[in-house]
Structure 1
Amino acid sequence: MKSKGKPLLLSLVLLISGFLIAFSYQQTENGPEMVHLTDSRWEKEYFYQKQLLDMEERNKSLREELKEKRMSIQMYENNLANSEEVVADLVSRKNKLQKFAGELNVKGPGVEVVLSDSEYIPNQEQVNQYIVHESHIHMVINELLSAGAKAIAINGQRYFSDSYIACTGPVITVDGIQHPAPFVITAIGDEEVLYSSLDLTMGVVDRLTSENVEVELSKKDEVNMRARLSAEG
């Protein structure tokens, strides 16, 4: 009986040992798989975090680039605005110079002086003493310039500092262009000042009248002057 019981007990021990070995082996095989899964999840998280950091870095770079672009645009707009102001100022100055040079039509308030030959000539032999001469026109022009006239015209023709006036019998030649009497001298400027300057006691009008020249002086709300004329028309 004892000899039969030992093999049975040994078999039972071996069976249990085999079961334990098999279980341990299975646990050993399953262990690395759990670690592997943990490593895979960590790699994914690391990958996503890296992508997020890259995106944030890219966004930061784009924000800096956008800031630089906005600054460049602002600088360009400022330069453009300054350029427009410079161009506008140059155009304004050019127009003023062209008006001063007689290349453009001009208009503004001012006065009008009409010089006419005397209707009464007692002695035909002394006719030159009763007609308008270039000296009379110069007298009016000089007074107007002294009073601040900005532009002057004779019978619609612009007068300039380099203009020349000559008397040829009953006509006046201005820069080669002839004008018959009456002679209408217009000036642009402060009409009150221009008028008062000509109408002073013993002033230009009185002197012209004393030299047998008929004078009509009036203020004008608007005087229009054409651009420079040439002798060819």
Structure 2
Amino acid sequence: MKRRKGKSIILSLVLLVSGFLVSYSYQLTKSSPEMIQLNDSQWEKEYFYQQQLLDMEKKNKQLREELKEKRKNIQDIENEMADREQVVADFVERKKKLQMLNGEVPIQGEGVEIVLRDAEYIPDEEQVNQYIVHESHIHSVVNELLSAGAKAVAINGQRYMKDSYIACTGPVITVDGVQHPAPFVITAIGDAEVLYSSLNLTQGVVDQLRSDNVDVELSKENQLEMKARLSAEG
């Protein structure tokens, strides 16, 4: 009787432990992540979507590179256009300066004015030519002004150009065929201080003119205006 009772106790313990292990195993299985079983069709869809995503990422990268390149091209074009605009502006400015130098357009600015007159007193009528203004006197003034950087020169309001010619005919001079009586007013546009100093140097042009009995007046002018040359005005 005692032996049966002992076996019963042992069997009860075995069953209790077995039940505990089964229960624990069930709880462990329930708490573990579930394994998703995919069939062939689902795998194909998954693979397809992954490939689509990869292709889209690749395409986006390509588009970003193309956009970057196009932006660079646009920037290069804008820079080139800016350079061309600057070149055109420089050409326009050069053309304007050349037109001014050629007398094709009017010009204005600061400068100097030189007035040459025949001598008021002529002691010897036979030597009258020694007391009047000649083309050589005008040439010396004009050449000095141009050497000092004058942008434009006019004689009695008529523009003097690099191809102009001056001739003396008795008491008058002709500039490009146009006659001008005395007094002869020579105006020059440029740096007034430089032009004035260049003419008024000791033993310079003004001193030489006075030694030739020419009456000279020299002044600085804040504003001078010159018309276009006669041929340009038509």
| TM-score, normalised by the number of residues in structure 1 | 0.72
Corresponding residue of 1:181 = 182
Corresponding residue of 1:168 = 169
* SS of equivalent residue, structure 1 residue 230: helix
- The Cα RMSD (Å) is 2.9
Percent identical among aligned pairs is 74
Cα drift, residue 135 of structure 1 = 2.0
Name the stretch that deviates more: 160-169 or 202-211.
202-211
Cα drift, residue 132 of structure 1 = 2.3
Name the stretch that deviates more: 119-128 or 142-151.
119-128
Show structure 2 runs of 5+ residues with no match.
1-36
* SS of equivalent residue, structure 1 residue 148: coil
Alpha-carbon distance in 2 for matches of 1:224, 1:40:
95
Counterpart amino acid of residue 45 in structure 1: E
Q: Is the 8 A contact 2:172 2:180 kept in 1?
A: yes
Tell me the alpha carbon deviations over residues 98-124 of structure 1, each in whole angstroms, 9 at most, x when there is no partner. 222222333333211011234445666
Q: Is the 8 A contact 2:117 2:133 kept in 1?
A: yes
Corresponding residue of 1:95 = 96
Q: Is the 8 A contact 1:175 1:231 kept in 2?
A: no
Corresponding residue of 2:76 = 75
Corresponding residue of 2:106 = 105
Q: Is the 8 A contact 2:103 2:232 kept in 1?
A: no
Name the stretch that deviates more: 90-99 or 175-184.
90-99
Q: Is the 8 A contact 1:108 1:222 kept in 2?
A: yes
Q: Is the 8 A contact 1:109 1:190 kept in 2?
A: yes
Cα distance change on mapping 1:128 and 1:221 into 2, 3 Å: same
Corresponding residue of 2:15 = none
Q: Is the 8 A contact 1:111 1:191 kept in 2?
A: yes
Corresponding residue of 1:138 = 139
* SS of equivalent residue, structure 1 residue 216: strand
Alpha-carbon distance in 2 for matches of 1:143, 1:56:
78
Cα distance change on mapping 1:191 and 1:232 into 2, 3 Å: closer
Cα drift, residue 222 of structure 1 = 2.9
Counterpart amino acid of residue 76 in structure 2: M
Counterpart amino acid of residue 177 in structure 1: V
Corresponding residue of 2:160 = 159
Is 1:193 matched up with 2:183?
no
* SS of equivalent residue, structure 2 residue 230: coil
Tell me the alpha carbon deviations over residues 5-41 of structure 1, each in whole angstroms, 9 at most, x when there is no partner. xxxxxxxxxxxxxxxxxxxxxxxxxxxxxx8x73333
Cα drift, residue 202 of structure 1 = 4.0
Counterpart amino acid of residue 154 in structure 1: I
Show structure 1 runs of 5+ residues with no match.
1-34
| TM-score, normalised by the number of residues in structure 2 | 0.71
Q: Is the 8 A contact 2:104 2:232 kept in 1?
A: no
Corresponding residue of 2:6 = none
